[in-house]
Amino acid sequence: MKEWTGMLGEKEYVVRLLKKDSVEDILRLQDIVLGTLINNDFLSPLTGEEYEDAISKNLMVGVFVEGKLIAFRALAIPEIDEYHLGYDIGLETEQLKKVVYQEITNVHPDYRGFGLQKKLGTIVMELLDASPYTHVCATVAPFNIASLKDKLSQGLVIGALKNKYADMLRYVFYKKLHEDREAGSEVLEINMADTEKQQQLLANGWIGTSILQKDDEWYVTYEEKGSYL
């Protein structure tokens, strides 16, 4: 089994694909992380069954320090239904079977500040680069800056902004795997709080490609999508 190693301060960590015997530890860590959140809308927890499904498809990696699970990142093969994120970014039904979701990342509070979320993002994208899937999708709440930066750092772009998960506003991110994206010729910076303007641009074929802070306010950079779908 492939493993990735590194150091967290003076402690060595190991990243590997998770097995079903880790589900109890996963749920325990998820509960710890949920207990530290100021805004619970930022995280949509998964069930034990959902984690077991991700593990069975080799789509979940965990970080271990001294044999203890301290972080994990999950991918998932979603059910093809009317809520599928592929529809939100303009895919056709026949394309949806090759779409994978980036579901969730949890890092134990004692190990934050080491960039583990980014490290795990690099690893799961490495796994996807060698996979038969064509698109990876994810959702992030506006103003969840850490998660927005995480998705953008992996090359995902914003393809939609709409209510998901019982009417919670979410950016819908995607990346076309096995293909590089060409930068657009025109760029617009839109205040992250201006939902309507962003939705208009997205409906007209633009995508969000970065975020920046100016005068204590956050902006999203938009470019024309072109043929990137």
Q: In this predicted structure, what is the pLDDT of residue 44?
A: 72
Higher pLDDT, 127 or 200: 200
pLDDT confidence band for 165 (50 / 70 / 90): confident
As a whole number, mean pLDDT of residues 169-198 equals 94
Q: Average pLDDT, stretch 126-138?
A: 92
In a domain, 49, yes or no: yes
Give the CA dihedral 142, 137, 58, 179, nearest 10 degrees: -130
Looking up tokens 């209510």 gives 163
Does residue 169 have a pLDDT over 90? yes
Q: String of b and e for 169-195 (b: at least 16 CB within 10 Å)?
A: ebbbbbbbbeeebeebeeebebebeee
CA dihedral of residues 176, 177, 181, 186 (deg, nearest 10): 30
- Counting residues of the chain whose pLDDT is more than 90, the rounded percentage is 73
Q: Cβ(12)–Cβ(6) under 8 Å?
A: yes
pLDDT at 37: 77
**In a domain? residue 213:** no
pLDDT band, residue 159 (cuts 50/70/90): very high
- Least confidently predicted of 66-70, 162-166, 186-190: 162-166
Is residue 151 included in any domain, yes or no?
A: yes
Whole-model pTM: value is 0.87
Domain count, the chain: 1
Q: Looking at residue 103, which CATH number applies to its domain?
A: 3.40.630.30
Mean pLDDT of the chain: 92
35 is a domain residue: yes
Q: What is the pLDDT of residue 185?
A: 80
Q: Does residue 211 belong to any structural domain of this protein?
A: no
Contact criterion met (CB below 8 Å) for 15 and 3: yes
Domain holding 63, by residue range, is 3-182
- Whether 220 is in a domain gets the answer no
Domain-embedded: residue 25: yes
Cβ pair 3, 64 in contact under 8 A: no
d(CA 162, CA 170): 6
Any bridge partners for residue 135, and if so which? 99, 176
Predicted confidence at residue 40, as pLDDT, reads: 61
Residues 61, 15: contact at Cβ < 8 Å? yes
Is residue 19 assigned to a domain? yes
Task: Give the CA dihedral 65, 74, 50, 146, nearest 10 degrees.
Answer: 100
Q: And the tokens for 49?
A: 């069954």
Query: Is the pLDDT reported for residue 127 higher than 90?
Result: no
- Residues 29-64: tens digit of each pLDDT: 999 998 887 666 666 788 899 899 889 988 899 999
